[in-house]
Amino acid sequence: MAAEADTLGAQVRALLLDSARDASEAVATVVALVCQGEFAEHYPRQALVRLRHILDRPEPDEAVRTAQEALRDIAANEGQLPRVWSTVIKWATQKKRLAGHRAFLSLLDPPVDPYVLQVMLAAAEQKKDIKEALVEGWSVALRSPSAQCVSRNRIHRPDHCHAPHRAALLGGRRSTSPDHADCRPTHPSSSRPS
């Protein structure tokens, strides 16, 4: 892989970083796919940074969905969950950005992959700091206007979260903000009955 090559590696990794910030859905999707593969095995921290930029996109497009999948894949790799968890909880609670909320909720989405949630709940039973981080992460996600609908969607799993439902999920307020774009189902499983 070019990102790992001695001669071009640094330039390719820098290009991946720039491309992760690209407005093009196709370009960002390719970067997310790269971060899902060997790049994450050799450069997990750099892969996470690139995924954070993709997860911060205003719309929950294919690039965002691919980045969420890549994040879950990295977390499921042997020995990577502690690194992924500490990074994501920082994004979600300290930076309070859409990427952090999306990452946090993506990791803890049991219908997609219950592995991380199961491990984190088991760890929370034994470690107070993990329990506090889970509570804080959910609290921040539920309070944040940029992640409020997606948070509630994860909890309640409504079949639709379009305009009629959006007002109810936003506490009676109507919003057309791109911050609430995650209110729309983001993958086929979001329309399955729970």
State the SS3 of 71-102.
HHHHHHCCCCHHHHHHHHHHHHHHHCCHHHHH
Classify 151 as helix, strand or coil: helix
Q: In the chain, pLDDT over 90 holds for what percent of residues?
A: 43
Residue predicted with more confidence, 97 or 157: 97
Q: What is the rounded average pLDDT of the residues 150-177?
A: 42
Burial of 175 (0-12, 13-18, 19+ CB in 10 A): middle
Name the percent of the chain in helix, strand, coil, to the closest 5: 70, 0, 30
pTM, entire model = 0.72
Check pLDDT > 80 for residue 2.
no
Q: Per-residue pLDDT tens for 95-148? A: 768 899 899 988 887 777 788 888 889 999 999 999 998 898 888 878 776 665
Q: What is the rounded average pLDDT of the residues 148-173?
A: 43
55-83 core/surface letters (b: 16 or more CB in 10 A; e: else): bbbeebbebbbbbbbbbbbbbeeeebbee
